[in-house]
């Protein structure tokens, strides 16, 4: 490698929740005309990577087509139902079983290795779920920065007993949706979750998978790794949240809480139809349930009825994927206060609009932090795993309410939660206070300074 070159290689799985914060960071470095920027991800994000080159170019490096087992968006309906079931542990176990596939990780490892051979990065910036990229960085002794789109305890809490963690004993295990502190029954449930996790890996089926994973890693000279290895071996961890949105604990110094990764706004022209419509309203509920959510006919019907009951008081802007819109009633029978869009030019522009008063969301890491960033209180319909954790924190910090029966989308429950959040000033006040802290954390600008200050780029 030319001694003057210091390539930075971003690596992410294609999911919006993982890739989007890194795309914002890559764009910020491009805006500063930082040379030798590369972004490795799956083919469907090629166009998104190219768009980040607003100053210096950001080169796309392909890790191939999407691997179904590693991408929740591509899971079939049976798997989707399993990973979004009401039992927190069974849903968590289903996610592990469907995504913990050593052979498929090995495919990505080799594709990324070819990229690394070409780019010869001085530094890698990796989303925290891309284990294959972390393994490659460790095996090649390449310094790496970890990107975390969740609250910090999500990656600092042990999932099984007797293993290393950075949070206090008795802290809620990720994906349990439990509060902190807990009642005695909740503490028992939390401990049981850890023990059931351990038991899951001791079954004959999972033992074979673990043995295969250990053989694979040994072949790359890595050895056994734990979930905390990604933290311990990272030079720096960029967390897209703030301490005030997590339960209190001592956060390691290498974890830098930079807040939500938001690009310069507006992202889209303010002369588009959605923006003009928002300008004309006085109170809008924005409903967006992420890229993974697949609503049923009953849930779509419930959402339409919720909107109908809000007519005369609030407008509803509902981002509903085009492939699910066939479940809507005929256009002429939709409530007059409902606007359905399959795509909005920018969700961030919508959340930033002053006439949007509440965000009805699935509670994923990006949406949760972005909603707070713009000072919007939330109503949360948790979808799976980490969504329950964000929902618990939002409720406890007074910025959101959670549906009692998220899977049912009970109309009375939704109306109750939306009305309480809209009409109780403390929800907005708390969201605005935490939003100010989010913005003060610096987001993309702070993250860019931290990356550029890494010794590998000196």
Give the sheet arrangement for strand 400-402, strand by strand. 338-341, 315-319, 284-288, 356-361, 378-380, 400-402
Write out residues in the chain with pLDDT < 50, as ranges: 1
What single string gives the DSSP state of each residue in 138-171? HHHT--EEEEE-S-THHHHS-SSTTS--SSPTTP
Q: So what's the pLDDT on residue 271?
A: 78
Give 58-63's long-range contacts (Cβ < 8 A, gap of 24+): 58/26, 58/27, 58/30, 61/9, 61/115, 61/118, 61/119, 62/111, 62/115, 63/11, 63/108, 63/111, 63/112, 63/115
Q: So what's the pLDDT on residue 346?
A: 93
Q: Which two tokens stand for residue 24?
A: 């914002």
CA 4/CA 12 separation, integer angstroms: 26
CA 157/CA 237 separation, integer angstroms: 15
pTM: 0.95
Q: So what's the pLDDT on residue 224?
A: 79
Its CATH architecture, for the domain 273-440, is 3-Layer(aba) Sandwich (3.40)
CA 93/CA 159 separation, integer angstroms: 12
What digits encode the pLDDT tens for the residues 150-182?
999 999 999 999 999 999 999 999 999 999 999
Q: What is the three-class DSSP state of 195?
A: helix
Q: So what's the pLDDT on residue 1?
A: 47
Give the C-alpha distances (Å, rounded to integers) separating 456 from 10, 114, 236, 395.
Answer: 15, 21, 12, 41
Q: So what's the pLDDT on residue 72?
A: 87
What is the CA 74 to chain-centroid distance, rounded?
17
Q: In the chain, where does the domain assigned CATH 3.40.50.2000 lie?
A: 8-259+441-457, 273-440
Q: Count Cβ neighbours within 10 Å for each residue of 274-313 and write b for 16 or more, e otherwise.
A: bbeebeebeebbbbbbbebbbbeeebbbbbbbbbbbbeee
Count the neighbouring beta carbons within 10 Å of the beta carbon of residue 405: 11
DSSP 172: P
CATH topology of domain 8-259+441-457: Rossmann fold (3.40.50)
What digits encode the pLDDT tens for the residues 56-79?
999 999 999 999 888 888 899 999
Closest CA to 222 of 230, 214, 211, 234: 214
Asked whether the beta carbons of 381 and 403 are under 8 A apart, the reply is yes
Q: Which two tokens stand for residue 147?
A: 């990107």
CA 20/CA 40 separation, integer angstroms: 13
Q: What is the three-class DSSP state of 42?
A: coil
CA 43/CA 62 separation, integer angstroms: 6
């Amino acid at each position: 490698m030319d001694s003057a070159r210091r390539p930075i290689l971003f690596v992410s799985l294609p999911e919006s929740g993982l890739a989007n914060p890194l795309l914002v960071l890559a764009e910020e470095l491009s805006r500063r005309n930082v040379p030798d920027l590369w972004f490795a991800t799956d083919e469907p994000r090629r166009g998104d990577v190219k768009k980040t080159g607003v100053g210096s170019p950001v080169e796309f490096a392909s890790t191939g087509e999407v691997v179904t087992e590693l991408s929740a968006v591509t899971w079939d309906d049976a798997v989707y139902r399993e990973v979004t079931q009401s039992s927190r542990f069974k849903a968590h176990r289903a996610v592990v079983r469907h995504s913990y596939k050593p052979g498929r990780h090995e495919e990505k490892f080799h594709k990324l290795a070819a990229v690394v051979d070409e780019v010869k990065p001085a530094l890698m910036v990796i989303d925290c779920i891309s284990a294959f990229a972390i393994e490659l960085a460790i095996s090649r002794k390449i310094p790496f920065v970890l990107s975390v789109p969740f609250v910090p305890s999500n990656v600092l809490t042990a999932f099984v007993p007797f293993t290393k963690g950075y949070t206090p004993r008795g802290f809620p295990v990720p994906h349990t949706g439990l509060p902190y502190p807990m009642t005695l029954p909740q503490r028992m449930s939390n401990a049981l979750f850890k023990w059931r996790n351990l038991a899951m890996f001791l079954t004959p089926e999972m033992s074979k998978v673990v043995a295969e994973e250990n053989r694979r890693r040994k072949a790359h000279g890595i050895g056994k790794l734990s979930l905390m290895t990604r933290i311990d071996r990272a030079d720096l961890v960029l967390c897209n949240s703030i301490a005030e949105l997590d339960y209190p604990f001592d956060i390691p110094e290498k974890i830098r809480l930079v807040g939500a990764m938001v690009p310069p706004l507006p992202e889209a022209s303010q002369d588009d139809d959605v923006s003009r419509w928002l300008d004309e309203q006085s109170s809008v509920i924005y409903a967006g349930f992420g890229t993974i959510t697949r609503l049923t006919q009953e849930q779509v019907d419930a959402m339409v009825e919720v909107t109908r009951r809000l007519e005369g008081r609030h407008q509803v802007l509902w981002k509903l994927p085009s492939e699910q819109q066939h479940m809507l009633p005929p256009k002429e029978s939709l409530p007059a206060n409902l606007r359905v869009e399959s795509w909005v030019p920018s969700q961030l522009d919508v959340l930033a609009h002053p006439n949007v008063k509440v965000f009805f969301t699935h509670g994923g890491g990006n949406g949760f932090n972005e909603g707070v960033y713009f000072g919007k209180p939330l109503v949360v319909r948790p979808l799976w795993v980490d969504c329950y954790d964000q929902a618990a924190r939002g409720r406890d910090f007074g910025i959101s309410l959670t549906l009692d029966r998220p899977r049912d989308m009970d109309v009375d429950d939704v109306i109750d939660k939306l009305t309480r959040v809209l009409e109780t000033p403390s929800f907005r006040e708390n969201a605005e206070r935490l939003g100010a802290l989010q913005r003060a954390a610096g987001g993309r600008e702070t993250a860019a300074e931290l990356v550029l200050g890494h010794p590998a780029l000196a």
